[in-house]
């Protein structure tokens, strides 16, 4: 493996860690809004999670030629589908040597569930991922779910 290949692989692994931390933070925020007042310990844990994500984001963006910009709106299939493809491609490149992105998958399915509720669609299937490669396949399947026409699309 050449120096530049090693650097690219290291950059992809660093990005994978970053998007997993980002998803963990976003999942905590989403969970928090739906379940009553938080305790001081929960708030401190949430703050530490955000600080860790933000520190990694700043460090990654300083080193990377293409900075990571968190996706703000993944609330439609037209936005969620391409994001799932992009994340699936990242984890497919890493293969099963990388840890399974459980928080990223939780985020993707949480967002898909919200879309399904709003559109009156069946929820996307949830097989269990065991590693980065199987998570990549799940994300590809979720992107395909996003591309499927809804009943409203077919009736129009």
Domain ranges of the chain: 3-149
Please report the pLDDT score of residue 126 as a whole number.
86
Has residue 80 got a pLDDT over 90? yes
Name every residue whose Cβ is closer than 8 Å to that of residue 124 and which is 6 or more positions away in sequence: 109, 112, 113, 116, 141, 142, 145
Instruction: Tell me the pLDDT tens digit for each residue of 23-51.
Output: 999 999 887 655 678 888 988 999 999 99
Name the pTM for this structure: 0.87
Please report the pLDDT score of residue 90 as a whole number.
96
CA triple 4-134-80, angle to 5 deg = 85
How large is the average pLDDT for residues 81-108?
94
Which residue spans within the chain are E strands per DSSP?
A: none
């Amino acid at each position: 493996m050449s120096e530049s290949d090693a650097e690219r692989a290291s950059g992809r692994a660093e990005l994978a860690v970053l998007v997993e931390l980002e998803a963990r933070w976003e999942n905590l925020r989403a969970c928090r809004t739906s379940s009553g007042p938080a305790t001081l310990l929960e708030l401190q844990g949430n703050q530490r999670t955000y600080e860790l994500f933000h520190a990694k984001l700043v460090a990654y963006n300083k080193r990377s030629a293409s900075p990571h910009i968190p996706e703000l709106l993944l609330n439609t299939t037209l936005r969620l589908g391409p994001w799932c493809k992009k994340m699936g491609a990242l984890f497919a490149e890493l293969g099963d040597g990388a840890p399974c992105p459980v928080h990223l998958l939780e985020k993707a399915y949480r967002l898909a569930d919200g879309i399904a509720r709003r559109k009156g669609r069946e929820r996307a299937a949830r097989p269990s991922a065991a590693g980065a490669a199987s998570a990549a396949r799940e994300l590809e399947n979720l992107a395909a779910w996003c591309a499927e026409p809804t009943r409203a699309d077919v009736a129009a």
